[in-house]
Amino acid sequence: MRARTPCGDCQLCCQSTSVASLAPGEEQIYASEIHLGQLVIAKKTNGDCVYLNESGCSIHEDAPLACRKFDCAAMVKLKVRVGDEIYRRGKELLRQGHKPQLKKVAA
Ligand code: SF4
Ligand code: SF4
């Protein structure tokens, strides 16, 4: 099940500034690569996730755990360092009244 993050049209987590980690075993399911020694979802040459298309995530409900659980607003609350744009988006969601779940949030 997805985090209840109200992403709307935001795709920051799927674009070139972001790297989605894969949980052990998920490399059997998803296209993957190694980034700085970490197993991550594979990227296109422009840096975007290979599963991102014009209408958004092509695998949506079946996306990797990190994608389904990530909440940029929780990262702001938990003071976890993320990219500037994602941090700003998290702050925006908090201003809009979004209340993130602060337990079991995967970065
Ligand atoms: S930055 Fe926040 S709103 Fe945007 S895609 Fe990521 S989790 Fe969703
Ligand atoms: S799998 Fe989907 S949600 Fe996850 S980074 Fe790729 S496009 Fe985004």
The atom of ligand 1 lying closest to the CA of 85 is 1
Instruction: Give pLDDT tens digits for 43-77.
Output: 999 999 999 999 999 998 899 999 999 999 999 99
- Per the structure block, which two tokens stand in for 106? 């995967």
Distance CA 65, CA 25 (A): 11
Measure 33 CA to ligand 1 centroid, in angstroms: 22
Measure 27 CA to ligand 1 centroid, in angstroms: 23
The model's pTM? 0.87
Residue 104's pLDDT is 53
Which of 22, 44, 52 to mutate to test ligand 2, by most ligand atoms within 8 A of the CB atom? 52
Of 36 and 103, more confident: 36
Establish whether residue 74 lines the binding site of ligand 2, counting it when its CB lies within 6 angstroms of any ligand atom: no
Of 17 and 91, more confident: 91
Taking a C-beta distance cutoff of 8 angstroms, is the pair 57, 14 a contact? yes
Distance CA 81, CA 27 (A): 25
CA of 26: how far to CAs of 8, 14, 60, in Å?
A: 26, 17, 15
